[in-house]
Amino acid sequence: MSPLEPFGARLRHAMDARGPLCVGIDPHASLLAAWGLGDDIRGLETFTRTVVDALADQVAVFKPQSAFFERFGSRGIAVLERAVADLRAAGGLVVMDAKRGDIGSTMAAYAETFLHKDAPLFSDALTVSPYLGYGSLKPAVDLARENGAGLFVLALTSNPEGAEVQRAVREDGRSIGATMLGHLAAENAGAAPMGSYGAVVGATLGDLSTFDLDINGPLLAPGIGAQGATPADLPRVFGAAVRNVVPNVSRGVLKAGPDAGALRDAAARFADEVRVVVDAA
């Protein structure tokens, strides 16, 4: 596959081949402790290496949470750089969960950090926040397109606080969340088999039939597992767009560690459950 093949196409191929699942890599202190590791750089390295070695050639998508690496400073970033490189070398797609959002040259610098093909942290896609206005994301949109990468824009998130912004209604009668979905649909128009500009939409939100989720792009869906949603909930939440859902599971898989076989089994189980539900929808 060409490295410049659009992210949406690469994502569709990966999910068809490996199963529709994204595993979050979230080495927070409590999870390190549950694995019997210290909350230090050695614990971070051991945790990350174990996850990468166990799952890199099995799971379609990985979502490292940048903050849990950044908190260890430059040594933590070095662990993240190696993980990104190794995951991608094994055929996994990396969605960097950094939720960057700013304006002008600062947004361009964030884009260059994660979306430039020569950057140490080059990822297949990046989570971004559009709440300085969707237009503020243009540097990231443009650089992603240039480098065959993608974006996941926060649209309808699973945290309760998000509703005060995302469900606020504009003068034209549309909610902010619906407006973001509309922008993404425009970015993805005509793309096949799927566009590269996705939305973050929580799997815990229940009936979203009042929103048009058919953006011809991926829908990154946190909330499966520890947050209470299950694969069986996906058709009810996402309706006809369910085939483009990228369900994210973090603790639901990671709690099976540090045993590599148990991690693989947990990931395979979630992927199979999602595939059955999507195929039946």
Q: Give me the active site residues, please.
A: 99
- CB neighbourhood size of 245 (10 A): 28
Helices 41-55, 73-89: axis angle to 10 degrees equals 10
Rounded to whole angstroms, the Cα distance separating 130 from 138 reads 10
Phi-psi region of 216 (alpha: psi -120 to 50; beta: other; left: phi over 0): left
> How far is residue 67 from each of residues 18, 70, 76, 77, measured CA to CA in Å?
27, 5, 10, 10
Rounded to whole angstroms, the Cα distance separating 87 from 48 reads 11
Question: Identity (one letter) of the amino acid at 150?
Answer: G
Rounded to whole angstroms, the Cα distance separating 246 from 248 reads 6
Supply the DSSP symbol for 279.
H
Vertex 110: Cα angle to 108 and 114 (nearest 5): 115
Give yes or no for a contact between 41 and 76, defined as CB atoms under 8 angstroms apart.
Answer: yes
Helix (H) or strand (E) holding 199: strand 197-201
Supply the DSSP symbol for 220.
E
